Amino acid sequence: MRLLMLGPPGSGKGTHGVRLAEEYGIVHISSGDVLRKAIADDTPLGRKLAGYVARGDLVPDDVLFELLIPIMEQAVTETGGFIADGFPRTLKQAERAYREIGIDRHLKLDAVVSLDVPDDVLVRRMLDRAQQQGRADDTVEVIQHRLAVYCAETYPLIDYFRQRGVLVPVDGNQPPDEVYAHIKDALGQRVTK
Ligand code: AMP
């Protein structure tokens, strides 16, 4: 099974993506986590990307594809699937991913779970997360910038995936167990491992 979790920062895509991956025995691939690890490891690439992530700006596509494609391929070889979280997140990335990952590598997405949560709830959740996890990009200014980037760059993907017939919309503004149950229910009708 190959899934994408789509939603604004703070929508719960990471939490639910990890849980789904555990349940289905496949790999959760968070582009943000992959980038934060490269930065924490202080690799030459990581040093190049640190500024983008700290500001909440999108990192260049070439670097992202170079980092993520091997991880996706390995996940499929080892476990039969993946749950992508945070990638693709622009129309340009989605179109390129469709060609280079979907068609060339026969790894098209089976479903895209889209979590919808109002902005004020998102900001509150991210500020809570900042206190718990100490993420450097969870400050009020950067959070607001990340939300603006989401609206401009990622939001159009909802229509893109709806038109491709793979969108699974879920109301993310409910208690986590209820959101998870809705995701499972909606996916159960569409995909088998
Ligand atoms: P996230 O953990 O998904 O909120 O991502 C944290 C940061 O990593 C983002 O604010 C971007 O700087 C960078 N990032 C993650 N995924 C992508 C992507 N698909 N394209 C460009 N930049 C990304």
Average pLDDT, the chain: 93
Q: Evaluate if residue 190 carries a pLDDT over 90.
A: no
Q: Evaluate if residue 192 carries a pLDDT over 60.
A: no
Catalytic residue, chosen from 2, 13, 19, 125, is: 13
Q: Evaluate if residue 193 carries a pLDDT over 80.
A: no
Q: Is 11 in the pocket of ligand 1 (CB under 6 A)?
A: no
Q: How confident is the model at residue 22 (pLDDT cuts 50, 70, 90)?
A: very high
Catalytic residue, chosen from 48, 55, 96, 129, is: 129
How confident is the model over 42-56, as a mean pLDDT?
Answer: 92
Supply the residue whose CA is at minimum distance from atom 20 of ligand 1.
58
Q: Is 38 in the pocket of ligand 1 (CB under 6 A)?
A: no
Residue listed under structure tokens 């070889």: 77
Q: Is 100 in the pocket of ligand 1 (CB under 6 A)?
A: no
Supply the residue whose CA is at minimum distance from atom 3 of ligand 1.
32
The rounded distance, in Å, linking the Cα atoms of 55 and 86 is 16
Burial class (CB in 10 A: 0-12, 13-18, 19+), 51: exposed
- Please, how many CA atoms are within 13 Å of residue 176, restricted to the half-sphere of its CB? 12
Catalytic residue, chosen from 2, 36, 125, 146, is: 146
- Please, how many CA atoms are within 13 Å of residue 32, restricted to the half-sphere of its CB? 18
Residue positions counted in the chain: 193
> Is residue 146 flagged as an active site residue?
yes
Delineate the domains of the chain, giving CATH numbers in brackets: 2-187 (3.40.50.300)
pLDDT at 136: 75
Q: pLDDT by residue (tens digit) across 64-76?
A: 999 999 999 999 9
pTM value? 0.91
